């Protein structure tokens, strides 16, 4: 049977369509490769700037650079580069970008959904990875003019908070320029050292010793110890401290642990303001960092999702985490001996009943240990130093001197 002209025309059109599709696929692949190079170069430039400014150590910089080639971050940088290309660097085209950025993210999610539920060619694990990458937060933030290109870095909050902070800071630096950035963003900010541990571990004694060491090095420091704020003279702080102590006293008399936690939380509310007010100092010595206290208490919660939300809320309320955490590790039995000895030594010393119960000290010791492991896993950029609480304070300070010098030099 002889084939007609219509068949030949259709065959030619089919060849043209296939050729056009193949050409489009090649262009799409080249565009994604260029976008990835753009995202990687931006991230490397941001990390190099932080390293040059001594805001991160050489080891932290190398660790972050090595992570850029990993699966999740590699895909993230490709999509981040596409957003940068859409927005324009450094000039942001607000009108076009506010439509194109969320449209791209929605299309990527829709494509993954079709492969997962219609064609059944994608596993559940792969689909969940793509959903986390093209998150609802990235869609929402991408619609915002001027700052929408930060949508993908913002979505890194849970997975890579340190890298998110570096990328957002560098985007601000590129947008404002060096002069405006230094004037409004890059001002002097005090570094912070948090001293944590159960009651009777020796936090107050060690904090005083560290302050003396910093004074010898010519560094101005102040101790912030919520809910008391003993070194800060301000009426609002006194008010919160008074309310907090009254609630803790009621909780102690009636053995209501929840009310005691509530009282401590109220006393910690002005913590962020206290840190901001003292940012001109060289170092902040924080005894009982509220965010770290919340981290330790979150480990007592049954659901992983609730624990994660609690930690995120603590960071939002109490601000940034410290550069260094000094964890005083001591057995609850030894801590209880110290508490009782201190009570006998000074009749004026007031101790709450819950501090003299061994079961409470054991529970909090376990929560602190779990919190330290969580911080080491989720926040590797924070230097966590564990010291033996049974040693004399002078020996502990001697051990800390060299490690703290690295933080001072950053």
Query: How is the beta sheet containing 191-196 ordered, strand by strand?
Result: 221-224, 283-287, 191-196, 324-329, 383-388
Residue 112 lies in a domain: yes
85 vs 146: which has the higher pLDDT: 85
Residue 6 lies in a domain: no
Confidence of residue 236 (pLDDT cuts 50, 70, 90): low
Q: Does the structure show a pLDDT above 50 at 93? A: no
Confidence of residue 408 (pLDDT cuts 50, 70, 90): low
Together in a domain, 176 and 236: no
90 vs 244: which has the higher pLDDT: 244
pLDDT digit string, tens, across residues 264-276:
777 777 888 888 7
pLDDT digit string, tens, across residues 25-62:
788 788 888 888 888 888 899 999 888 877 777 888 88
Residue 3 lies in a domain: no
Together in a domain, 398 and 257: yes
Q: Which stretch, 5-9, 75-79, 112-116, has highest mean pLDDT?
A: 112-116
Q: Looking at residues 216-233, what average pLDDT do you find?
A: 80
Cα 55 from chain centre: 15
Going from the C-alpha of 269 to that of each of 222, 260, 314, 385, the distances in angstroms are 18, 15, 11, 26
Query: What is the pLDDT at residue 139?
Result: 82
Together in a domain, 180 and 307: no
Together in a domain, 282 and 247: yes
Residue 10 lies in a domain: no
List of residues 6+ apart from 52 with CB closer than 8 A:
none
Task: Report the mean per-residue pLDDT for the chain.
Answer: 78
Query: What is the pLDDT at residue 94?
Result: 47
318 contacts 267 by C-beta, under 8 angstroms: no
Residue that is last in its domain, among 164, 184, 204: 184
Q: Looking at residues 320-343, what average pLDDT do you find?
A: 85
Query: What is the pLDDT at residue 88?
Result: 59
Together in a domain, 57 and 162: yes
Instruction: Give me the CATH number covering residue 278.
Output: 3.40.50.300
Locus of tokens 């596993």: 123
Residue 5 lies in a domain: no
Q: Does the structure show a pLDDT above 80 at 151? A: no
List of residues 6+ apart from 358 with CB closer than 8 A:
332, 333, 336
Query: What is the pLDDT at residue 327?
Result: 92
Structural domain including 253 reads 191-409
Together in a domain, 267 and 213: yes
Residue that is last in its domain, among 153, 184, 215: 184
Residue that is last in its domain, among 131, 163, 184: 184
The DSSP secondary-structure symbol of 227 reads T
Domain count, the chain: 2
Together in a domain, 199 and 241: yes
List of residues 6+ apart from 11 with CB closer than 8 A:
none
Together in a domain, 139 and 177: yes
Residue 359 lies in a domain: yes
Locus of tokens 């430039």: 45
Give 318-359 as a DSSP string. Answer: H-SPPSEEEEEE--HHHHHHHHHHHHHH-TT----GGGG-HH
pLDDT digit string, tens, across residues 367-392:
888 888 888 887 777 888 898 988 88
Going from the C-alpha of 375 to that of each of 65, 116, 380, the distances in angstroms are 21, 35, 7
Query: What is the pLDDT at residue 380?
Result: 75
Going from the C-alpha of 256 to that of each of 199, 261, 296, the distances in angstroms are 18, 9, 19
Residue 8 lies in a domain: no
Residue 293 lies in a domain: yes
Together in a domain, 371 and 327: yes
Q: Does the structure show a pLDDT above 60 at 235? A: yes
Together in a domain, 173 and 208: no
Query: What is the pLDDT at residue 149?
Result: 67
Q: Looking at residues 228-250, what average pLDDT do you find?
A: 75
Together in a domain, 285 and 368: yes
By percentage, how much of the chain surpasses pLDDT 90?
A: 2
Together in a domain, 163 and 212: no
Q: Does the structure show a pLDDT above 80 at 335? A: yes
181 contacts 169 by C-beta, under 8 angstroms: no
Query: What is the pLDDT at residue 50?
Result: 86
The DSSP secondary-structure symbol of 20 reads H
């Amino acid at each position: 049977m002889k084939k007609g002209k219509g068949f030949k025309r259709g065959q030619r059109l089919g060849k043209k369509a296939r050729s056009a599709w193949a050409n489009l696929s090649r262009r799409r692949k080249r565009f994604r490769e260029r976008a990835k190079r753009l995202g990687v170069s931006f991230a490397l430039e941001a990390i190099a700037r932080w390293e040059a400014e001594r805001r991160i150590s050489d080891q932290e910089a190398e660790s972050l650079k090595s992570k850029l080639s990993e699966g999740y971050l590699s895909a993230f940088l490709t999509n981040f580069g596409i957003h940068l290309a859409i927005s324009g660097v450094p000039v942001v085209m607000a009108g076009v970008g506010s439509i194109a950025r969320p449209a791209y993210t929605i299309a990527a999610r829709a494509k993954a959904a079709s492969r997962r539920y219609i064609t059944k060619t994608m596993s559940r694990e792969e689909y969940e990875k793509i959903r986390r990458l093209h998150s609802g937060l990235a869609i929402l933030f991408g619609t915002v003019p001027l700052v929408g290109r930060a949508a993908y870095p913002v979505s890194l909050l849970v997975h890579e908070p340190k890298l998110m902070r570096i990328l957002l800071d560098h985007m601000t630096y590129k947008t404002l320029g060096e002069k405006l950035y230094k004037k409004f963003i890059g001002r002097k900010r005090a570094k912070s050292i948090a001293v944590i541990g159960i009651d009777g571990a020796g936090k107050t004694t060690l904090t005083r010793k560290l302050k003396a060491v910093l004074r010898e090095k010519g560094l101005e420091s102040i101790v912030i110890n919520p809910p008391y704020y003993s070194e800060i003279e301000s009426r609002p702080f006194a008010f919160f401290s008074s309310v907090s102590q009254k609630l803790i006293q009621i909780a102690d008399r009636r053995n209501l642990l929840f009310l005691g936690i509530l009282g401590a939380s109220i006393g910690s509310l002005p913590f962020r303001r206290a840190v901001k007010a003292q940012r001109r100092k060289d170092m902040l010595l924080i005894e009982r960092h509220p965010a770290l206290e919340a981290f330790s208490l979150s480990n007592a919660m049954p659901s992983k999702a609730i624990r994660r939300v609690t930690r995120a809320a603590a960071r939002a309320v109490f601000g940034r985490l410290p550069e260094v955490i000094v964890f005083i590790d001591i057995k609850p039995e030894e801590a209880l001996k110290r508490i009782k000895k201190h009570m006998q030594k000074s009749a004026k010393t007031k101790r709450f009943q819950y501090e003299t119960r061994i079961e409470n000290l054991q529970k909090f010791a376990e929560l602190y240990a779990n919190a330290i492991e969580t911080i080491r896993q989720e926040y590797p950029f924070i230097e966590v130093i564990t010291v033996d609480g049974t040693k004399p304070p002078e020996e502990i300070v001697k051990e800390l001197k060299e490690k703290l010098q690295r933080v001072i030099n950053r």
